[in-house]
Amino acid sequence: MTLIYDKVAVIGMGLIGASISLATRRGGLAGSVIGSDRSPDVAATVARLQLVDHFEADAALAVHDADLVIMAVPVGAVGAVAGQVLPHMKPGAVLTDTGSTKTSVVRDVAPHLRDDIFWVPSHPLAGTEHSGPGAGFEALFDGRYWIILPLASDEAVVTRFETYITGLGSVCERMSPEYHDKVLALTSHLPHLIAYTIVGTAVDLETQLKNDVIRFSASGFRDFTRIAASDPVMWRDVFLNNDGAVLEMLQRFSEDLSYLQRAIRWQEGDKLEALFTRTREIRRSIIDAGQN
Amino acid sequence: MTLIYDKVAVIGMGLIGASISLATRRGGLAGSVIGSDRSPDVAATVARLQLVDHFEADAALAVHDADLVIMAVPVGAVGAVAGQVLPHMKPGAVLTDTGSTKTSVVRDVAPHLRDDIFWVPSHPLAGTEHSGPGAGFEALFDGRYWIILPLASDEAVVTRFETYITGLGSVCERMSPEYHDKVLALTSHLPHLIAYTIVGTAVDLETQLKNDVIRFSASGFRDFTRIAASDPVMWRDVFLNNDGAVLEMLQRFSEDLSYLQRAIRWQEGDKLEALFTRTREIRRSIIDAGQN
């Protein structure tokens, strides 16, 4: 139990915000956690499950004496929340977010920044297909990467923040916003887009076939439906805000898919087998990297 | 423990063949299981792990007094194996296969059929990303669907065969070859093709980015790599033999993906959110159907 910050304010009490509060408490990382959310339903769940030490519906009031402010809201809302909380933060405090896209967040927060606030964007590579405060749990971040974007912040401030993140259970890794968005476009955003698409294709089938697709969903499709059950608003914002990198990766993917489509049409089994053999190697690399 | 067949011969001792032998033994469903495989490596593993009662490298010899012959080989090889074993089967015996495509299997086996052999194609909706006899386990089929294609076979023969399949742990479901291939194209074949494609797209990235994609593989991509680690020869044969249904579903998928691509490019968040909300329903249906 190591106290890192006296007061931590979490704005947005969804799956991520709730889990941050619970993991902070587990690690004894803060004197108290103040939660904030504009939704009365979320507020009621937070109260019922006792997810925070204090709840304050008004974000401006929630942050006024916090040493660390975490914006855990969909990336499309980060700019507005920053505009709301930054004028009320105390000098020397640290501001971060948990958004899945980083160039857009850096762009949207920039107009609201103050010289006496340390802005350290971040992104936990953790989550489930469930959403809302009731889905939060204290072990969500254990062993998962948490990407830190130090920007031009003071090194001592960043190091302290990383100590807090490590205390939540995560492994810290520094990146630039642009590189982060490129890596995530392929590892997370494109797979989600494809899963949403194929499940959507099934939704549009005639009733009998659709029912049987659901009934006999084999491992491939079943995995996709889990991914495609993720929070709609969060993911809408991801695609709107990492559009450049996603569209670039999608272009590559479409070309590669056309290549396989053509190989199937022309019965070129050697091309299929060659690719299917190469992709096995990637799985081995992931298992070797301990990310399985 | 209910004896259904005196002798069962399994041709092809990969993941499926080995699991069939183990599940048959667990259920006491056969007097003995004869295994056959043309690969000396597979033969050695089968012997070492004692996966069958008898092993016979020559498929023609393996089947000669079997009451049930199961061809558990890649779908591209089913026709050749049928041509090899059918002349040596005893009158009144049952022949089946476990292939993932059914119109092609029916087409390929047809020229070799005999009037005194009951041909009942089938397909267990079970498997893992691992392959080979060492990956087999007796519980593989527990609770999973096993599709039966009765064709014009005698009802008593089909019912007895279904009793055996139920004894392996599976739930039987009858279908026509064409309908089977359509359902599987979307639930299994297209998801595998897409997973192979996106992992292949990652393989072609420049080294640094590729390494970081592997290192920071989030849940979406990691699920895809598991699927894309499946047996290359088996899946090559699936796509070559269910080309019609796969290409048709792929066409629908590509249209739907283009729609989302355009929505991202033109920042049409409402279209994205509307689809992402609808796909959640499918996941609920699958959970309700107990296939989760």
Q: What is the pLDDT of residues B257-280, one digit of tens each?
A: 999 999 999 999 999 999 999 998
Q: What band does B189 get if pLDDT is binned at 50, 70 and 90?
A: very high
| Residue in A15, A141, A272, A287 to test binding to B, most B beta-carbons within 10 Å | A272
Nearest to B68 by CA among B124, B122, B104: B122
Indicate the pLDDT class of residue A14, thresholds 50, 70 and 90: very high
Q: What is the pLDDT of residues A53-104, one digit of tens each?
A: 999 999 999 999 999 999 999 999 999 999 999 999 999 999 999 999 999 9
- Taking CB atoms and an 8 Å cut-off, how many pairs form between chains A and B? 279
Q: Which residue of B has its CA nearest to A200?
A: B279
The string of pLDDT tens digits covering residues A152-186 is 889 999 999 999 999 999 999 999 999 999 999 99
Who contacts A233 (Cβ-Cβ below 8 Å, separation ≥6)?
A: A74, A76, B273
Considering chain B, what percentage of its residues have pLDDT values greater than 70? 98
What whole-number percentage of chain A has pLDDT above 70?
Answer: 98
Quote the pLDDT of residue A226: 87
Per-residue confidence (pLDDT) for residue A292, from 0 to 100: 58
Contact B218 A184 (CB under 8 A): yes
pTM summary value = 0.88
Residues of A in contact with B282 (CB under 8 A): 199, 202-203, 214, 225, 228
Compare A4 and B289 and report the one with higher pLDDT: A4
> What dotted CATH number matches A5-175?
3.40.50.720
CA closest to A145 among chain B residues: B216
Q: What percent of chain A has pLDDT over 90?
A: 82
Q: Is the pLDDT of residue A291 over 70?
A: no
pLDDT at residue A280, as a whole number: 87
Q: What is the pLDDT of residue A290?
A: 67
pLDDT digits (tens, 9 = 90+) for A181-205: 999 999 999 999 999 999 999 888 8
Domain ranges of chain A: 5-175, 179-288
Residue A282 binned pLDDT confidence (cut-offs 50, 70, 90): confident
Rg (C-alpha) for chain A, rounded Å, is 21
Record: contact A254-B257, CB cut-off 8 A: yes
Q: What is the pLDDT of residue B3?
A: 94
Q: What is the pLDDT of residues B64-80, one digit of tens each?
A: 999 999 999 999 999 99
A179-288 matches A5-175 in CATH topology: no
pLDDT of residue B1: 65
A64 in Cβ contact with A88 (< 8 Å): yes
Q: ipTM of this predicted complex?
A: 0.89
B179-288 CATH, one of 1.10.3720.10, 3.10.20.30, 3.90.226.10, 1.10.3660.10:
1.10.3660.10
